[in-house]
Amino acid sequence: MSDQIFQTRLENGLQVLLKEIHTAPIISHWVWYRVGSRYEIPGKTGISHWVEHMQFKGTPKFPAGILDRAISRDGGMWNAFTHLDWTTFFETMPADKIDLALDLEADRMINSVYDAEEVNSERTVVISEREGSENDPLFRLDEAVQSTAFTNHPYRNEVIGSISDLHSIQRNDLYQHYQRYYNPANAVIAVAGDFDTGGMLKKIERSYGCIHGQALPGLSNEREPSPENERRVNVTGPGETTYLQIAYRAPAAANHDFFPFSILDSLITGPTSLNMFGGGGISNKTSRLYRRLVEKEFAININGSLQATCDPFLYNIVITVHPKHNAEEVLQQVDEEIDNLFQSPVTQAEIDRAAKQARALFAYGSENITNQAFWLGYSEMFDQYSWFLNYVKELERVTASDLLRIAREYLQPGYRVVGIYHPDGGMQ
């Protein structure tokens, strides 16, 4: 991807990142807010995600349904996502239609209605979304592991929230959350595509410049004590398949340890793609755990995931246990493989390979303008855009001794939660 971008901050605190790409007559426009489950308090879990849903319910200027119609009619694509550290809304549109996206995002930054009837209708929609997730054993296991992995930090909660909170949250809770966090000083606008930077900046100033911004106090990153002992959690549910999830505390993305940790991820479970749109992934059949577990028939499948987050989150290894074995036997194999990392240095060839994999994943992601605009804003949520630009170079600089240090520091059993999903054989 080209490195040329334009960055500025409007007087109201709104941060703006622009990247011209002239390969297709398309513009992708994103608004990022620094709010997600990281900002939630007990009793209000899931509120950020529900607010995101309510943002599609209309303003006096763009009543519900009008927004959908207006974007879709122009052949646009739009959606929103809520995650641990952020909530984001995007529109990818034919280039000559992008004014609509700016108008509506600026409008719903402050003018959403939060009609009480709509709140109640959406309550059942969000609960239905959660119930759909609960059907999946891996969601239930992940929820149990995540809540065990953190004592205080809101990362212990699933983004969608607990079912009891989804029943108790009221319209005013949602509206207050919206008013607090949806403001220019807490937002980033990221636009990529077929435009002229000067012209686009003027449009952004016209749409967003008059909205009052109020900076929010930063959150302390030290709310969560370091884990000291391995913790265990068991979940029982329908099915015939046993799953094992091992969650190690991972470094925050802005911590320099994140780069060597990415190499470790690539070695242990195969490279994680951080692209949200496009590109797909790379298979993991030569990763160390695949070879040890799947090739030796301890597991049916393995998967690892490392996320770029503000605070230390989790490196999750999820294993579908082979019917011939139990979870404890599989865990022992994992421990032996991790122990190898503590004992034997990783070769330069393996490091080079992980860096090439990252380069390939970025090339796949750059086919797509939506994904390029995504990176402009996403990287600002946990660090800066330079993090993204330097990512491959940082991986190339990693040394075997870095990896040894990182493995010994982060992959100790005391740093992890072990979760096991026990199937009840199809009955409950």
Residues 68-87 binding another protein (CB under 8 A) are 68-69, 71-77
Min dist. Cβ of residue 267 to another protein (A): 11
Residue 116, interface with another protein (CB under 8 A)?
no
* Contact between residue 293 and residue 330 where contact means Cβ atoms under 8 Å apart: yes
Interacting residue with another protein among 99, 238, 337, 404 (CB under 8 A): 238
Residue 245, interface with another protein (CB under 8 A)?
no
Question: What does the block give as tokens for 427?
Answer: 């009955």
Min dist. Cβ of residue 428 to another protein (A): 4
Min dist. Cβ of residue 75 to another protein (A): 2
94 vs 209, beta carbon nearer another protein: 94
What are the φ and ψ backbone dihedral angles of 294, each rounded to 5 degrees? -80, -45
Residue 357, interface with another protein (CB under 8 A)?
yes
Residue 240, interface with another protein (CB under 8 A)?
yes
Residues with Cβ < 8 Å from 401, sequence gap 6 or more?
A: 345
- 291 alpha carbon, distance to own chain's centre: 28
Of residues 6-45, which lie at the interface with another protein (CB under 8 A)?
A: 23-26
The identity of residue 246, as a single letter, is I
- DSSP 8-state symbol, 325: S
Question: What does the block give as tokens for 59?
Answer: 């303003």
Of residues 146-175, which lie at the interface with another protein (CB under 8 A)?
A: none
Residue 291, interface with another protein (CB under 8 A)?
yes
CA proximity to 211, closest of 355, 12, 43, 9: 12
The residue range among 9-17, 358-366, 374-382, 400-408 that interacts with another protein, by the rule CB under 8 A, is 358-366
The residue range among 297-305, 337-345, 375-383, 390-398 that interacts with another protein, by the rule CB under 8 A, is 297-305
- Rounded Cα gap, residues 84 and 38, in angstroms: 5
Residue 356, interface with another protein (CB under 8 A)?
yes
295 vs 336, beta carbon nearer another protein: 295
The kind and range of the H/E element at 200 are helix 197-208
What are the φ and ψ backbone dihedral angles of 425, each rounded to 5 degrees? 80, 20
120 vs 386, beta carbon nearer another protein: 120
2 vs 226, beta carbon nearer another protein: 2
The residue range among 181-189, 214-222, 340-348, 355-363 that interacts with another protein, by the rule CB under 8 A, is 355-363
What are the φ and ψ backbone dihedral angles of 219, each rounded to 5 degrees? -95, 145
- Rounded Cα gap, residues 27 and 21, in angstroms: 9
Interacting residue with another protein among 4, 8, 111, 124 (CB under 8 A): 124
Residue 144, interface with another protein (CB under 8 A)?
no
- How many residues lie near another protein (CB under 8 A)? 79
Min dist. Cβ of residue 156 to another protein (A): 21
Of residues 381-400, which lie at the interface with another protein (CB under 8 A)?
A: none
Residue 4, interface with another protein (CB under 8 A)?
no
Instruction: Tally helices (H) and strands (E) across the chain.
Output: 15, 11
**Residue window 178-217: x/- pattern of binding to another protein, with contact defined by CB under 8 A:** ----------------------------------------
* Helix residue ranges per DSSP H, 155-237: 163-168, 171-181, 197-208
Interacting residue with another protein among 65, 225, 345, 413 (CB under 8 A): 65
**Residue window 91-110: x/- pattern of binding to another protein, with contact defined by CB under 8 A:** -x-xxxx-------------
18 vs 361, beta carbon nearer another protein: 361
Interacting residue with another protein among 19, 368, 407, 411 (CB under 8 A): 368
236 vs 340, beta carbon nearer another protein: 236
Query: Could you give the 3-state DSSP secondary structure of residue 77?
Result: strand
Of residues 311-330, which lie at the interface with another protein (CB under 8 A)?
A: 320, 322-324
| Helix, strand and coil in the chain, % to nearest 5 | 45, 20, 35
The residue range among 177-185, 208-216, 219-227, 280-288 that interacts with another protein, by the rule CB under 8 A, is 280-288
Query: Could you give the 3-state DSSP secondary structure of residue 187?
Result: strand
**Side-by-side strand order, sheet with 314-321:** 231-237, 416-423, 243-249, 314-321, 299-306
Buried b (16+ CB within 10 A) or exposed e, 108-128: bbeebbbeeebbeebbeebbe
The position carrying tokens 């984001």 is: 88
